[in-house]
Structure 1
Amino acid sequence: MREHIIEIIKQIEIDYDVKILYACESGSRAWGFPSKDSDYDVRFIYVHKKNWYLSIDQRRDVIEIPKNDPISIPIHELLDVSGWELSKALKLFRKSNPPLLEWLKSSIVYYQAYSTTEKMSELATNIFAPNSCIYHYLNMAKGNYRDYLQGQDVKIKKYFYVLRPILAAKWIEKYNTIPPIQFQSLVEDIIPEGDLKKLIHELLRRKIAGEELNLEPRIDQINLFLNGEIIRLEEYAKSIKNDIQDPTERLNRIFRETLDEVWN
């Protein structure tokens, strides 16, 4: 699949007249709990030619490859491919956008060219805003908890989509740093030894083994943990203050240097 993804990346460059700077996995495969039928969630950052930026009209700043209207070569049914234009990515980076920070820390990098994302990674610690990141993970956890885990019978695999953001928020509380992307790393560090950790490890084993994990009785011990942490972390997030120097000029410099590096 990696070879096919790189082929898709090269074809996007041709079809859209851009250069791709970085492409990675951003979904369950990067998080460390894929099942046999998990999508490949490929996310990338790209840059246009200089004249594209010298226009009085606003331009679309994302590229999405819909499965029913693929690019000029066939695309695998398990591929979910989309990317952000560089200036959009840098503006989100300035806001400490958690999905973008996760892209840069992805455990699966499919493609990297030029020096742009290395420069962004070097700056990531300086732009990290713990309160906005915690709120992002909390909102994700609350939405998934409300939508998937309220009944007597629940889709057991959905626990991962609440556990992971809660553990990421707890990592930020504990270390005040960008959390690791891999779920197992979060579990080992954040969850103490005991019954809760054993339950999570068993769910993880079953999901990776390919068990369906569809509707089953709710796991009350995990629900109690998640509900309590959502309430507690919401209070904690209110106490966090950001003290970040404006990185705009450094990001402008990265943008200009990228245009010169790529197109000159």
Structure 2
Amino acid sequence: MTTVPDHVFEAADELLTAIEREHDVSTALAAARGSHAWGAASPESDYDVGFVFVPDDLRRYAHLEEPPATIHETADGDEIELQGRDVRTFARLLADSNDGAIDLLRSSIQYRTAYDPTDLAEYIERTYNPIALYHAWRGIATGNYRKYISHHLVRTDDETVPILEMLEDAYVVETDDGTATIPADDERFAETQTKPTVKRNLTICRAAMSARYLKATGERGTHELPALEFERFLSEQAPAVFEPDRIELARDLLERKRRGEGATTIGDAVGREFARPPADIDPEVHAGDGPETERLDAFVDELIAAVR
């Protein structure tokens, strides 16, 4: 797990205090997001901080001009980036089994803990809807692969289509319905500049492994949530589902990212097939009810009470 220098904690705390004054809110919880949270940070990595805030005057929720649902600020030359959600938005994300909201509760690097997230995290880990979380991770993997790794065409309206085959005078591309052939001289399309870097491959690899692990463990009778710390996942959980060479590839990408090679172009290391977990999975096996609204409301009350 990566560490955070004292000056970053101090700067984040100062920025949170400034945000509270500007927006008339109080921070209930703030924790690391991104590469520092899951142990892939390099010396050049930014510090991403997620936080949950509560309006100082709850009557604002009934006003025509409601309090902000999100707050986004940067500081120290963009070294620190803060992304906050109000307590109601955060609860709704947890109700939807949102991966980012769940990971914020599980992050071991905490900047503010007026509210101790332990009980809420344990409840969410017991009650999240596996199929929703599966599709969240699948979306991250397929979306990043399509945008950054696939060789693709971009249309004048910014629509992108992956290239499956290059012919002498045309492209065979992937469509929602199958494939299509686009003439090479079609002026509506141009080849894009992709970014098949270590960082992008690692993002895809982690998301695809998380989705596939959740599906595999669910089919064995219990959906096991992958550890947030990727190295721990690779060492303790991944061997039950993945072949050693897949785990070694993931570990190599992780180590290269940590060494500061995140921007190095390496092509498609993950592979198209692995980067695209199946879209259709059995809801009878993988769907759950998710967290109970009444129970989440009780946790919202606790979050509010922690800062009032």
TM-score (norm 2): 0.72
Change (3 A) 1:19 1:118: farther
The partner residue of 1:178 within 225, 237, 240 is 225
Counterpart contact for 2:28–2:303, Cα < 8 Å: no
8 Å contact 1:134–1:172 — kept in the other structure?
A: yes
What amino acid maps onto 2:264 in structure 1? N
Q: Note the aligned Cα RMSD (angstroms).
A: 2.6
- Contact residue 134 and residue 237 of structure 1 kept, 8 A: no
Does 2:291 match 1:230? no
Q: How many pairs does the alignment contain?
A: 250
1:1-264 paired onto structure 2 within 5 Å: 1-49=8-56, 50-65=58-73, 67=74, 75-115=76-116, 117-151=117-151, 154-173=196-215, 174=217, 175-188=222-235, 189-191=237-239, 192=242, 194-211=244-261, 213-219=263-269, 222-223=270-271, 227-228=273-274, 230-231=276-277, 233-236=278-281, 240-244=285-289, 247-263=292-308
Deviation larger for 5-14 or 156-165: 5-14
- State the one-letter code of the partner of 2:238: I
* Cα distance change, pair 228–245 in 1 and its aligned pair in 2 (3 A): closer
Q: Does the CA contact (< 8 Å) of 1:167 and 1:187 recur in 2?
A: no
Shift of 1:78: 0.9
Aligned counterparts of 1:202 and 1:16: Cα–Cα separation in 2: 43
* C-alpha spacing 1:134/1:217, structure 2 compared with 1 (3 Å): closer
Aligned AA (1:105): R
Asked if 1 retains the 8 angstrom alpha-carbon contact of 2:28 and 2:307, the reply is no
1:9–1:20 Cα contact (<8 Å) kept: yes
Structure 1 residues 112 and 234, CA, compared in 2 at 3 Å: closer, same or farther?
same
- 1:57 and 1:30, CA in 2 relative to 1: closer, same or farther beyond 3 A? same
Would the aligned equivalents of 2:96 and 2:290 in 1 still touch at CA under 8 Å? no
TM-score, length-scaled by structure 1 = 0.83
Q: What's the offset of the Cα at 1:119?
A: 4.1
Aligned twin of 1:70: none
- Three-state SS of the structure 1 residue aligned to 2:196 is strand
The one-letter code of the counterpart of 1:167 is M
Higher strand share: 2
Amino acid paired to 1:159: N
Instruction: From the CA coordinates, give the structure whose radius of gyration is larger.
Output: 2
What letter corresponds to residue 13 of structure 1 in structure 2? E
User: In 2, Cα distance between the equivalents of 1:81 and 1:246?
Assistant: 27
Offset from partner CA, 1:66-116 (integer Å, 9 cap, x none): x4xxxxxx644211111000011111111111110011011311111035x
Gaps of 5+ in 2: 1-7, 152-193
Which runs of no fewer than 5 residues in structure 1 stay unpaired? 68-73
Q: Could you say if the C-alpha distance between residues 212 and 131 of structure 1 is closer, same or farther in structure 2, counting changes exceeding 3 Å? A: closer
- Between Structure 1 and Structure 2, which shows a larger proportion of helix residues? 1
